[in-house]
Structure 1
Amino acid sequence: MPDPMRPRASLRTAVVWDVLQDALDRRVKATGRESLDVLDSGGGSGNFAVPVARLGHRVTVVDPSPNALFALERRAAEAGVADRVRGVQGDTHGLFDVVERGGYDAVLCHGVLEYVDDPAEGVRNAVAALRPDGVLSLLAAGLGGAVLARALAGHFKEAQQALGDPDGRWGEGDPVPHRFTAEQLAALVEGAGLRVAAVHGVRVFADLVPGVLVDTEPGALEALLKLEETAAASPAFHAVATQLHVLGETQGTDGA
């Protein structure tokens, strides 16, 4: 059965959660502190922030939506971690108007780069929030997954458009402003001064498998979860993943 400590919708988050939890555990051992200071930039209602707080860490969530922050407060209270979760209204561009530079052992930047005007600035700000031995967890929309999804839906012109568009957009109606390849995300992380410790493909199969199959076939959910976890680390599947996860670490931080 999926680990109950994982965030909900485990098929979509399990790979990221496993990598993140391992990185946090390694930082705990390296620092000798039981509790880390974690920043979740664009963390919304706390899909990751609350489970991280349940591990015993202190989490600051920055998000521009008051409604999301209200939901975060309620979720943290229900999970019994209200004393370890703090929500502040703000965005990646003005990050240091609401949090301090260099104050965090780990920074989560999940689902943010797709929507900022300057993704490179977004990564630089996330890195600037880290302590010298910090860890960055970066999750963003993958180009290949969008191309594959449009093609499988029969929208071949849109798939072609996304494939050739500098931002990976399939048309005017595309709600995602930016998509990335694994190489592009790695370059952003390295350009901000970190080394890339790991790259994983996320939702390689989960968005392609009919939900009715997963819901009705005995053992299908667990088998699909295992398949996702196995394929995630293989570069061969990065090109077709719906999302890409990059773990960035400072040069002095022990790798995965």
Structure 2
Amino acid sequence: MRTEGAARQAATSPAVRTAVVWDALRDALAGQASATGRERLDIVDAGGGTGGFAVPLAELGHQVTVVDPSPDSLAALERRAAESGVAVKGIQGDAADLRDLLEPGCADLVLCHSVLEYVEDPARALAAVAGLLRPGGAVSVLTANPVATAIHRSLAGHFDEARAVLADPAGRWGEQDPAPRRFGATALAGLLSAAGLTPGEVKGVRVFADLVPGRVLDGEPGAARALVALEQAAADHPVLREIATQLHLLGHR
């Protein structure tokens, strides 16, 4: 029988936590391949860290460049890519400096996952991302949702902090909050529009995965697969997506 820790790991494994995002990425890649006539697309992962998305995308045959400020993350990315037998280019730098690091119009798809919460100027960073896109290109944006943060602080017994999240325009629970800001669906779509991008439909990511106790999955064959299916069903639900840990949407040029 699995331990509680093992069951919790299954509930929060990358496959469960990112299934909805990968569904959207696969659709975007298929659309780009059809529109361009190219199976091998140029992808930039801004803030891509150790390559959780970049390496699988390279394994699909795409040319992937990761821009990240951490040399340690880029070193881990290089090792991860080598172990997978693929090539991923790593560049040290910040998302806001993409214009200085890469040529304009060099990408069919840019990933901007868990970046806008931390950059000094989210609007500037998204403008830099938009500048990399070719006509018809897309940006994949994934950010933390303040409503979910309030729920999680409440479940941990931090009721004053949960209330603070709801009252704070930046969606923070206090001075010790590690995230400088979080974005609701309307604010996120507005940011993309301001960058000259056409926002798609907002999807909820990790609606249930972060709430499921590990014991629920303990000893249940196929439970993780069923949880993925539940996440996929909840991603577009107009109510449930509002409580998702993260929000995802594609913006098109």
Measure the CA separation in 1 of the matches of 2:208 and 2:195: 31
Q: Which runs of 5+ in 2 are unaligned?
A: 1-12
User: Are 2:58 and 1:53 equivalent residues in the alignment?
Assistant: yes
User: Are 2:187 and 1:176 equivalent residues in the alignment?
Assistant: no
Helix, strand or coil: the match of 1:216?
coil
Partner amino acid, structure 2, of 1:146: T
1:76-120 superposed Cα distances (whole Å, 9 cap, x missing partner): 1111112xx100000012122221121100000001001011111
Measure the CA separation in 2 of the matches of 1:172 and 1:214: 35
2:195 paired residue among 192, 196, 205:
192
1:109 paired residue among 107, 112, 117:
112
Measure the CA separation in 1 of the matches of 2:183 and 2:218: 31
> Paired residue for 2:34?
29
Q: CA deviation at 1:154?
A: 1.6
| Conservation of the 8 A alpha-carbon contact between 1:145 and 1:241 | yes
| Conservation of the 8 A alpha-carbon contact between 1:143 and 1:239 | no
After the TM superposition, which residues 83-232 of structure 1 pair with which residues of structure 2 at under 5 Å, given as runs?
85-232=88-235
The structure whose RCO (Cα within 8 Å, separation 6+) is larger is: 2
C-alpha spacing 1:216/1:172, structure 2 compared with 1 (3 Å) = farther
After the TM superposition, which residues 232-243 of structure 1 pair with which residues of structure 2 at under 5 Å, given as runs?
232-243=235-246
| Conservation of the 8 A alpha-carbon contact between 2:99 and 2:131 | no
Q: CA deviation at 1:18?
A: 1.1
Q: CA deviation at 1:214?
A: 2.1
In the TM superposition, structure 1's runs of 4+ consecutive aligned residues that sit over 6 Å from their partners are none
Partner amino acid, structure 1, of 2:43: V
TM-score of the pair, normalised by structure 2: 0.92
1:155-213 superposed Cα distances (whole Å, 9 cap, x missing partner): 11000001111110001111111111011101111111111222110011100111232
Q: CA deviation at 1:217?
A: 2.4
Partner amino acid, structure 1, of 2:73: A
Helix, strand or coil: the match of 2:202?
strand
Partner amino acid, structure 1, of 2:93: G
Measure the CA separation in 2 of the matches of 1:48 and 1:90: 18
Measure the CA separation in 2 of the matches of 1:163 and 1:205: 20
Q: Which runs of 5+ in 1 are unaligned?
A: 1-7, 251-256
Measure the CA separation in 2 of the matches of 1:60 and 1:171: 35
Aligned identity (percent) is 58
Measure the CA separation in 2 of the matches of 1:166 and 1:197: 23
TM-score of the pair, normalised by structure 1: 0.91
| Conservation of the 8 A alpha-carbon contact between 1:198 and 1:248 | no
Partner amino acid, structure 1, of 2:168: D
> Paired residue for 1:254?
none
> Paired residue for 2:71?
66
Work out the number of aligned pairs and report it.
Answer: 241
Partner amino acid, structure 2, of 1:43: G
> Paired residue for 1:253?
none
Helix, strand or coil: the match of 1:113?
coil
CA RMSD of aligned residues (A): 1.1
Measure the CA separation in 2 of the matches of 1:55 and 1:213: 34
> Paired residue for 2:7?
none
Measure the CA separation in 2 of the matches of 1:86 and 1:15: 26
| Conservation of the 8 A alpha-carbon contact between 1:141 and 1:179 | yes
Helix, strand or coil: the match of 1:173?
coil
Greater mean alpha carbon deviation, residues 192-201 or residues 54-63: 192-201
